[in-house]
Amino acid sequence: MKRNVLIVDDSEFTRNYHSYILREADFDVVTAVDGADALEKLYSRSFDLVLTDINMANMDGYEFIRRVRSSGDYNDLPIVIISTESESEDKSRGFLAGANFYIVKPSDPKPLLENIFMVLGIEAPAGGGS
């Protein structure tokens, strides 16, 4: 069963990189350029997971997560922050906003997929999904 993932990042390169990795692992991927764009896409379709950056124009990842969690409709939606910000303060802010997991960029494909499968509570396909 294909899983739907929303990738939120202002970097086109990063969106494409993560999209490629996830599509190769048989995920359906939708991308958004910032939190505001992501909210529009989230409200128009069902997702199994969100990967979001923190630092973005218009609406950053923290605000995006707070808005998603405040709606009440998405309390069970796994949200993973994937950011270059690696300080414990950044991670704490992410978890306080409502993130389920935090990954520091850059992330190699195999550990990225392992973490995603773990967050989703599913087994990695044979061969590691990459």
Q: How many helices (H) and strands (E) does the chain have?
A: 5, 5
Please state the pTM of the whole predicted model.
0.92
Of 51-60, 61-70, 100-109, 119-128, the poorest mean pLDDT is in: 119-128
DSSP codes of every residue in 87-126? SHHHHHHHHHHT-SEEEESS--HHHHHHHHHHHHT-PPPT
Q: How many CB atoms lie within 10 A of CB 35?
A: 27
Q: Is the peptide bond before 106 cis (omega within 30 degrees of 0)?
A: yes
The per-residue pLDDT for range 33-81, each reduced to its tens digit, is: 999 999 999 999 999 999 999 999 999 999 999 999 998 889 999 999 9
CATH number of 3-109: 3.40.50.2300
